[in-house]
Amino acid sequence: MTRHERPPLQLRAQTCNTAEVFHFHFERYCSWAIFIIDEVLGVFAICSDYGNWTYRWNIGHIGAPSLKAFICKADEYYLTGKLAQGVPHVWSPEGTQKFMREIFDERMKELSEEEAVEQRKLFEAAIQDADWNEGPELFATNAPEFLQETFELIYECYIYEPPSEVLALRDHLLPFFRKWLKEWMTKEKT
């Protein structure tokens, strides 16, 4: 074989029965989730009707005695960031309005009270007139003139947030499972 030739692709398959699987049905939400933890491979996976997520950590570098202990120790934002990598955020009209109001309020501090009241009326009218369902691309060109003049680069005011499935992971599934896992691990020790 010469230096530039590659060896044929070799497949190495092995059976690994090291995963623990935890099934849950949530009556309150009429939903389900399956949590899978493989301590040997460093894999944490969730299959649910909210979505499916997985991540693999290098077990030797997690700073915890086990993957289960690591999952209990890490916060929901960190775990969500790993599990939901590559999930694009979506434009939030509500978040954008809130951010625009914050910027606008700061600018109004520089005006007299009378000018600020007049500008506030124009601002609120423009917020009401805007079509917030157009999406960020159309909103940038179709926003009321007052907003376009007030926010020279209106797209810099856009707020993007995780989609609802990722919020369900962060705010419901992970907190539930981490709490349950801590209790289960405590019972296992006794």
Q: Please check whether residue 103 lies inside any domain of the structure.
A: yes
- The b-or-e profile of 127-137 (16+ CB within 10 A means b, else e) is beebeeeeebe
Which one-letter amino acid corresponds to residue 61?
Answer: H
pTM for the structure as a whole: 0.70
Residue with the two structure tokens 């009218």? 125
Same domain, 81 and 109: no
Same domain, 157 and 169: no
Number of domains present in the structure of the chain: 2
Stretch 17-46: mean pLDDT, rounded? 90
Residue 100 within any structural domain of the chain: yes
Q: Are residues 37 and 59 in the same domain?
A: yes
Please check whether residues 114 and 57 belong to one and the same domain.
no
Tens digits of per-residue pLDDT, 128-186? 888 888 888 888 888 888 888 888 888 888 999 999 999 999 999 999 999 999 999 99
Q: Measure the CA–CA gap between 91 and 159, rounded to whole angstroms.
A: 6
Instruction: Provide CB contacts within 8 A for 167, sequence distance 6+.
Output: 161
- Flag whether 3 is in a domain: no
Domain that holds residue 137: 90-161
The answer to whether residues 50 and 113 belong to one domain is no
Using one digit for the tens of pLDDT, what is the confidence trace for 39-94? 999 999 999 998 999 999 998 899 999 999 999 999 999 999 999 998 888 999 99
* Residue 41, domain member (yes or no): yes
List pLDDT tens digits, range 1-17.
566 777 676 776 666 67
User: Is 70 within the bounds of a domain?
Assistant: yes
Question: Among 77, 76, 79, which residue's Cα sits nearest to residue 57?
Answer: 79
Helix (H, G, I), strand (E, B) or coil at 177: helix
pLDDT at 99: 93
Q: Are residues 68 and 96 in the same domain?
A: no
Between 18 and 167, name the one with better pLDDT.
167
